[in-house]
Chains A and B, each alone.
Chain A
């Protein structure tokens, strides 16, 4: 079983829609959780950290469920510029990356 699993997609979503991704992790001792986005042929960029209480940044909401060992990302009112690969990242002794979910927003 992979340490961090994501649905690779692709998710093709119309502009303005709401889209949600989930990510599961296997190491219950994991301490920190992040969502990164990566545009084609670019470096990963931190989108948001994920806190136990959940957190929101504009159109983006991240949730952590330690009991079920998953994190989620919700994007509301999606924009064309949201098209990217979204990487779930879990930190224990190292950062472990999920395989990424490819999102394409369709005009």
Chain B
């Protein structure tokens, strides 16, 4: 199984809502990532988890809260988002803890904040 799965595929939420994005991989990868991608732009790194511990937080606002319940799962909890947070949110995983490894991406969650 060489797949990273993400749910939901699409999400529309209001600025007062609380929602969560989910990501799962069963490749035994030890590092997992959240990226944000706006239209016609490259992915921007948000968070890195290495061995289930948060190792990189790229100065992401606190309205985004990551969680890694176990080595296969990665969540992104959303609260009080702004319309400019609308984007494609991509989860990725890589084999090693070092970020030099090639990363495998999930299909993404397309988020719209109203």
* Contact indicator A97/B42 (Cβ below 8 Å): yes
Provide the residues of chain B in CB contact with A98, threshold 8 Å: 42
Residues of A near any B CB (own CB < 8 A): 31-32, 34, 41-46, 49, 87, 91-95, 97-100
Tell me the count of chain B residues lying within 8 A, CB to CB, of chain A.
Answer: 19
* Contact indicator B108/A43 (Cβ below 8 Å): yes
User: Total contacts A to B, CB within 8 angstroms?
Assistant: 41
**Which residue of B56, B100, B104, B107 has the most chain A CB atoms within 10 A of its CB atom?**
B100
Bound: A31/B102 CA distance, A: 12
Bound: A65/B32 CA distance, A: 30
Residues of B near any A CB (own CB < 8 A): 41-43, 45, 48, 56, 88, 90, 99-108, 110
Provide the residues of chain B in CB contact with A41, threshold 8 Å: 88, 110
